[in-house]
Amino acid sequence: MTYPPVPAPARLAAWLPDPLDDALVRYWDGQRWTFHTAVRQIAPVAAQPSPAVQPPQPALRPDVAAAVDRVRGLLVGSMKEINLLGDHLSSEERVLALTGAAGEGQGVLVCTNQRLLFLFVGLIRKQFLHVGWNQAKAVVYDRASRMFSVYVTKPTKRAVPAFSVRVANLGDAQMVVQAAQSASTAPRLDIV
């Protein structure tokens, strides 16, 4: 008599060390890795005779840290992108506002003094979208769909945005729109 093979025990859903970044934990839903990440909290180690050498945590630029402090919504799942943000900014570019947003995955929507950008870094995919203030003609946040859209043409029913991301927190979307209004001179900015 033959017996069916015994399935391997399933790993329970939990926050586990991120397989790609030691500084983060990633949520395992019991079947697969999700896009949700958070900064890994390391428990203090008992005093040792010689201090252990640990790699330094990347410090956020002061403008990025100030923008993170002003966020009203949650940034769970966006901390990896926030830590990588400095690599995507020029030295004279300043972050005015940012918030968690969803494109192809959970990332960060950022308003700088030079452009609007969205950054997402996943296990398999990356998404980096940006529109400079010289090209932007309109920024629209639709409260019903929670979509934050950036247009390089006049927004009409047939116009296709340069990029659209979902921003769940209305207060954060308004903060990004207000920062965009102060940074840009030409674009029309609306909340509908």
**Domain around 128:** 62-191
Q: Judge whether residue 149 has pLDDT over 80.
A: yes
Question: Within 13 Å of residue 148, how many CA atoms lie on the same side as its CB?
Answer: 29
Same domain, residue pair 97 and 139: yes
Residues comprising the chain, all counted: 192
On whether both 33 and 74 belong to a single domain, the answer is no
155 and 113 in a common domain: yes
Counting the structural domains of the chain, the total is: 2
pLDDT score for 186: 47
Q: Please report whether residue 53 resides in a domain.
A: no
Q: In what order do the strands lie in the sheet with 188-191?
A: 126-132, 115-121, 106-112, 95-102, 163-166, 147-151, 138-142, 188-191
- Kindly state whether residue 52 falls inside one of the protein's structural domains: no
102, pLDDT greater than 50? yes
Q: What are the start-end ranges of the H helices in 5-117? A: 62-70, 79-84
Dihedral of the alpha carbons of 153, 119, 78, 137, in degrees to the nearest 10: -20
Neighbours of 21 (CB within 10 A): 16
Q: Are residues 34 and 111 in the same domain?
A: no
Does the reported pTM lie above 0.75? no
Do 38 and 66 reside in the same domain of the chain? no
With respect to residue 56, please indicate whether it lies within any of the assigned structural domains: no
Q: Note whether 78 and 18 are same-domain residues.
A: no
Q: Which residues lie closer than 8 Å to 133 by C-beta, 6 or more apart?
A: 114, 115, 183, 184, 185, 186, 187
Task: State whether 37 and 70 are in the same domain.
Answer: no
pLDDT in tens, 24-82: 888 888 888 887 788 777 665 555 555 555 555 567 788 888 888 888 766 666 777 88
Write down the pLDDT at residue 160: 92
Q: What is the CATH number of the domain that holds 175?
A: 2.30.29.30
Mean pLDDT of 145-174: 88
User: Is there a single domain that holds both residue 24 and residue 87?
Assistant: no
Output the CA–CA distances (angstroms, integers) from residue 97 to 51, 153, 186, in the order listed: 38, 23, 19
| Percentage of the residues of the chain whose pLDDT score is greater than 90 | 3
23 and 118 part of one domain: no
If asked whether residues 66 and 38 sit together in one domain, one would say no
